[in-house]
Each structure stands twice: as C-alpha cells, then as structure tokens.
Amino acid sequence: MSEAPDPEVIELATKVFALARQGDAETLAAYLDAGVPPNLTNDRGDSLVMLAAYHGHATAVEVLLARGADGNSANDRGQTPLAGAVFKGQDEVIRALLAGGANPEAGTPSAVDTARMFGKTELLELFESR
C-alpha cells in the first residue's frame, strides 16, 4: 500500500525543478547543500541536470555536477542532458557536461547521433577528441 505524496515535498520539488530550469545556480546550490538529492527527477524522468542543460544554464549544470549529479542520467525517453544540449545548440552547457564526465555515446539518440543528425561536425570532432 503506497502513501499519497506529501504536498510539502511536492511543493519543494516543484520549486527546485523551477530553479534548474531558470538557471538559479546559487539558490540551487543552497538547496542541494541542505539535502535535496542532486539526482532528483520529475514524473518524466528529467533530472535537474537535464532541465538546467536543456534550458542553457551551464553554471547550474556545473553546480549540480560538482554536488554529485549524474550527467549521463537519461530521462524516460532515453534522452541525456548532453544530447539535449546538442539539440538546443548550447555550447557552454556541452562543454560543462563533457568536463563533468558526460558520455557522448550515452542515451537514445546519443549526443553523437544528435550531432550527426544536425550536421554538427565541430561537435563530432570534439567528442572524438575525448
């Protein structure tokens, strides 16, 4: 028998997801340092890193990775933060994720597949150089 989610926990999670989307790295760091799990996911499996990456917030991505977030965590559709950043053309985010250990081959489609799909040869070269 499962319990109904605590409305206060849902409210807090909603706030933290919004911080990741908005790129409020300083406030996000404070919540993580206070105990919010860095690998928290929403109902679609999108992690905080995915949301920050997809919305182009490299500093927020760096804050999350520095606090233990998994840069390779795929959502329910198999998409990774790196593939999302490639899709959106977020070069600073791509570099932050790679510096944090993100794997360009992870996910479906992978960041490599996405770069090929959009003819981003400079990214393919970057991925190959790692």
- For the ranges 4-8, 51-55, 105-109, the lowest mean pLDDT is seen at 4-8
Q: Is residue 1 part of a domain?
A: no
Residue 117 structure tokens: 């799909």
pTM: 0.92
What is the Cα–Cα distance from 16 to 36, expressed in whole angstroms? 8
Q: Is residue 96 part of a domain?
A: yes
Query: What CATH number did the domain enclosing 45 receive?
Result: 1.25.40.20
Q: Which domain holds residue 69?
A: 7-128
CA-derived radius of gyration, the chain: 15
Domain count, the chain: 1
Give, to the nearest 10 degrees, the angle between helix 25-33 and helix 58-66: 10
* Residue 105 pLDDT class (50, 70, 90 cuts): very high
Q: Is residue 70 part of a domain?
A: yes
Instruction: Render pLDDT for 73-98 as a digit per residue (tens, 0 to 9).
Output: 999 999 999 999 999 999 999 999 99
* 130/27: higher pLDDT: 27
In degrees and rounded to multiples of 5, residue 107 shows phi and psi of 90, 170
Q: Is residue 2 part of a domain?
A: no
Instruction: Render pLDDT for 32-66 as a digit per residue (tens, 0 to 9).
Output: 999 999 999 999 999 999 999 999 999 999 999 99
Q: Is residue 118 part of a domain?
A: yes
